[in-house]
Amino acid sequence: HNELEKNRRAHLRLCLERLKELIPLESESTRHTTLGLLNKAKAHIKKLEELDRKSLYQIDHLKREHRFLKRRLEQLEDSPENERIRTDSVDSTVFSDRSDSEREEIEVDVESTEFSHGDVDNISTASISDLDDHSSLQSVGSDEGYSSSSVKLSSSI
């Protein structure tokens, strides 16, 4: 019976030594209590899980952004030669080769505007999935601070 207990304690000691190698320890003290090691391991695991969660969130965000930008690139490549579409990070404006007097420009607050499916069909420069991806991209940065955006739509008279 004593031999079994001795082996069990040796095994626990070995496991604690391995655990000590795996978790970051502030002090290089050779003496750490079992409870202290287990608490530090628990905190380290929670930190790794949080990093993993954030990484997965970032991957998802980048995939949505990639899909949106890919569709936007295809849209720009498919646009006729006489129409130029330029965008920047704050607003999107559609320009044609017509004069300024023939063009009417409307500024729309994207964050407070809700589109029905019929409204979205009338917008020739974006598909429903583009708007979904783009709006999800804008809402993703919510914990990085408030960001405002607007879209300018130009139409020819």
Instruction: Break the chain into its structural domains and give their ranges.
Output: 2-54, 79-156
Region 1-15: what's the mean pLDDT? 94
For residues 100 and 97, what is the distance between their CA atoms, to the nearest angstrom?
9
- Please report the pLDDT score of residue 132 as a whole number: 53
CATH number belonging to the domain at 2-54, selected among 1.10.10, 4.10.280, 1.20.1300, 1.20.120:
4.10.280
Residue 110's pLDDT is 47
User: When comparing pLDDT for 65 and 152, which is higher?
Assistant: 65
Chain-centroid distance, C-alpha 111: 18
Average pLDDT in the chain: 70
Q: Averaged over 58-75, what is the pLDDT?
A: 97
Residues 6+ apart with CB under 8 A from 119: none
Q: What is the pLDDT of residue 79?
A: 82
Percentage of the chain exceeding pLDDT 90:
41
Helical packing angle, 2-22 and 34-78, nearest 10°:
40
pLDDT surpasses 90 at 70: yes
Predicted TM-score of the model (pTM): 0.46
Q: What is the pLDDT of residue 90?
A: 44
23-65: pLDDT as tens digits: 988 776 667 889 999 999 999 999 999 999 999 999 999 999 9
